[in-house]
Amino acid sequence: MVFDLLSRSSAPVSDEIRKRLGIDMSVGRLELQNYLIKSTEARLRLDVPLVSVPPEVHCMGRRTSIGDLYAADWVVSILNLFLVTPPSRQRSPFSLLDLGCSSGRLIALLAHVMPDIHFVGVDPRRSSIDYAVRELSRPNLDFLLSQQTPPLPVDAAQFDFVSAVSIWSHFSEDRALLWLREMGRILRPGGLLMLTMGGLGKLIKYRTQGRHSQRVFDRRTARIERGEWLFTAYPDGRRQGEELNLEHWGDATAGISWWQRAIAETFLLEAFFPAGFHGVQDIYVLRLKGKSN
Ligand SMILES: C[S@@+](CC[C@H](N)C(=O)[O-])C[C@H]1O[C@@H](n2cnc3c(N)ncnc32)[C@H](O)[C@@H]1O
């Protein structure tokens, strides 16, 4: 296998893991506990340094900040499934960019386990990037501060793979298209973009949880199926992040019809995993058209 993050283990929870987790395993949310067990096992086995991100620095899934093993697992699976030319046979070093990396929980884990790949994390949030540069940089991992609109501070056709976890799920339609075009600029021909965002699965979940009425659910579902991009900017004050301009950043929902139309000229849709990400966000794997090296 080209990439091997870890072999999944069903080994019983050892005392060491219980101690590391520091939580009472007999109560609480089963899903989270399973995730923590797996992550901790992997961390111990892979010897990934334990990093806890300070409260003032942005970090998703803070309770599981021992590294985003879940997303890393997806990245590795997609590399294994869809990579045409293994990194060892490529002319230039294989490189992966994580768009909207926040404080690096995904990319730091990947960089630790795949030292032959060059990784770049970008995010417009200064405190996250400062933290990541200070705490997580390593020879195969760089972090760059980006702007909220393209271009990224990188040359064209530099990357074989871009991951974007929960990024398009926040863009206005205008920004979604702008950033898609930017991905076409920075990827090498044949390169892959893996992104996650909420679509029909998210609407079903919201309806099931009672967050949306049947009327709202029906209306939104019909719009998604017609290929519309639904976007609501966050109200003032909510999730205001440092110097970020949140005019084009909020809650976005779209489905495969929107994506098929948007990518038609530039990308091929390699794979679509509906609600594949934590049972809520869809996963898209797009390949930049053109011949790979
Ligand atoms: C929902 S978080 C996801 C973080 C990371 N990918 C993860 O899964 O942990 C969204 C990230 O995108 C960043 N971001 C990227 N582009 C942005 C933009 N145009 N405006 C605001 N935030 C943006 C945020 O700073 C934040 O770190």
199-215 pLDDT, tens digit per residue, is: 999 999 999 999 999 99
Ligand 1, atom 8, residue with closest C-alpha: 165
Cα(182)–Cα(184) distance, rounded to whole angstroms? 5
Confidence of residue 28 (pLDDT cuts 50, 70, 90): very low
Domains of the chain, by residue range, sit at 69-288
- Cα 113 to Cα 17, 73, 83, 106, 195: the distances in Å are 20, 12, 18, 11, 21
- Classified as helix, coil or strand, 221 is helix
pLDDT value for 145: 97
| Residue 217 backbone zone (phi > 0: left; psi -120 to 50: alpha; other: beta) | alpha
Ligand 1 centroid distance, CA of 36 (Å): 23
Inform me whether the pLDDT recorded for 146 exceeds 90.
Answer: yes
* Phi, psi angle pair for 8, to nearest 5°: -65, 140
Ligand 1, atom 11, residue with closest C-alpha: 100
Segment 106-134 shows an average pLDDT of 91
- Cα 281 to Cα 14, 19, 49, 218, 248: the distances in Å are 32, 32, 28, 19, 20
Cα(160)–Cα(162) distance, rounded to whole angstroms? 7
pLDDT 10s digits, 175-194:
999 999 999 999 999 999 99
Domain 69-288: CATH superfamily, name plus number: Vaccinia Virus protein VP39 (3.40.50.150)
| Ligand 1 binding pocket includes 148 (Cβ within 6 Å) | yes
Tell me the sheet residues that pair with 123. 145
Segment 212-230 shows an average pLDDT of 96
15 vs 290, higher pLDDT: 290
Q: What is the pTM of this model?
A: 0.85
Confidence of residue 278 (pLDDT cuts 50, 70, 90): confident
| Residue 244 backbone zone (phi > 0: left; psi -120 to 50: alpha; other: beta) | beta
Confidence of residue 38 (pLDDT cuts 50, 70, 90): low
Confidence of residue 116 (pLDDT cuts 50, 70, 90): confident
pLDDT value for 176: 98
170 vs 5, higher pLDDT: 170
